[in-house]
Amino acid sequence: MTQGKISLASKTPSGAQGGGAVPESPPSYEEATTGSSPCHSFDEGEVLTEFTWEDKNIRRMFIRKVYSILMIQLFVMVAIVALFTFCEPVKICIQANPGWYWASYAIFIATYLTLSCCTAPRRKFPWNLILLAIFTLSLSYMTAMLSSFYNTKSVVICLGITALVCLSVTVFSFQTKIDFTSCQGVLFVLCTVLLYSGLFLIIVIPLGYVPWFHAIFAIVGAVLFTLFLALDTQLLMGNKRHTISPEEYIFATLNIYLDIIYMFSFFLQLFGSERN
């Protein structure tokens, strides 16, 4: 380029005096945009591929971040459940004040809808972590209060069953070739069955408790959220039919945590025994 500028400055009208060489004309627009110019000699495909969301390193960091946050959520949940189950004064206090449960339920609904339906809050730091912390505390309080009405041994057993099922489903989802992300139809049918069963159960309970129907409801709920856990786990992997963007680590954590909590609550209904 420097030699070209010098030759251009010393160029005479005849182009032959002094024996100077005539500089090459600049590349055309087509040549510059197709990469024939020396300034476009890099491989654009490699540069673009390096920063795509399908990169294994980005996906691995995404999975690590999701499960790190999830472990903190589960630790908080187990700690609150243990406090409400083993500490008798706390248990009596929360059972005597059911208004706190409904207040935490309202907070749970508000934060869940905000994180699920609004993209900006769940992607903007630190508000996404603040909302997720409020969501975790509210749902943990609701779960712990429900657990306080069950026998202590039943709660511990159901926690152990939930942990084993979650570990097994997670390992299976990472290793299997079955694509749970393409089974939305089956999950929709089970959701419909669970919805109508719950509505029917609400109508039947005032007329008389039906243990076998309540057990069927709990079984359907446990199976449904076990499948949801497998689905949400495979959405993290990025190698199935449907995947989730690494930007949505809050949304991914929210879904998996909700699957585990609902699974535990249905196991508690199925295997737990209420206090006398």
The answer to whether residue 169 is domain-embedded is: yes
* pLDDT at position 50: 41
Residue 15 pLDDT exceeds 50: no
Q: For the chain, give the number of residues.
A: 276
Give pLDDT, residue 41. Answer: 37
Residues 228, 233: Cα–Cα separation, whole Å? 8
Q: Is residue 95 part of a domain?
A: yes
pLDDT for 13 beyond 50: no
Quick check: is 29 in a domain? Answer: no
Percent of the chain with pLDDT over 70: 75
* CA–CA gap between residue 15 and residue 25 (Å, rounded): 14
| Residue 20 covered by a domain | no
Domain of 122 in residue numbering reads as 56-271
pLDDT, average across residues 196-225: 80
pTM of the model: 0.74
> What pLDDT, on the 0 to 100 scale, is given for residue 274?
67
Whether residue 30 has pLDDT greater than 60:
no
Total domains present in the chain: 1
pLDDT-based confidence at residue 119 (cuts at 50, 70, 90): confident
* Structural domain includes residue 181: yes
| CA–CA distance, 198 with 38 (Å, rounded to integer) | 69
In a domain, 26, yes or no: no
Q: Is 250 exposed, middle or buried (0-12, 13-18, 19+ CB in 10 A)?
A: buried
* Residue 3: per-residue pLDDT: 45
pLDDT range class, residue 261, cuts 50, 70, 90: very high
Each residue's pLDDT tens digit, 126-161: 888 999 999 999 999 999 988 888 888 888 888 999
Task: Answer yes or no: is 154 within a domain.
Answer: yes
Considering just the CA atoms, what is the radius of gyration of the chain in Å?
30
Q: Report yes or no on 19 lying in a domain.
A: no
pLDDT confidence tier of residue 275, bands split at 50, 70 and 90: low
Mean pLDDT of the chain: 77
| Residue 70: closest CA among 207, 223, 229 | 229
User: What integer pLDDT is reported at residue 130 of this predicted model?
Assistant: 92
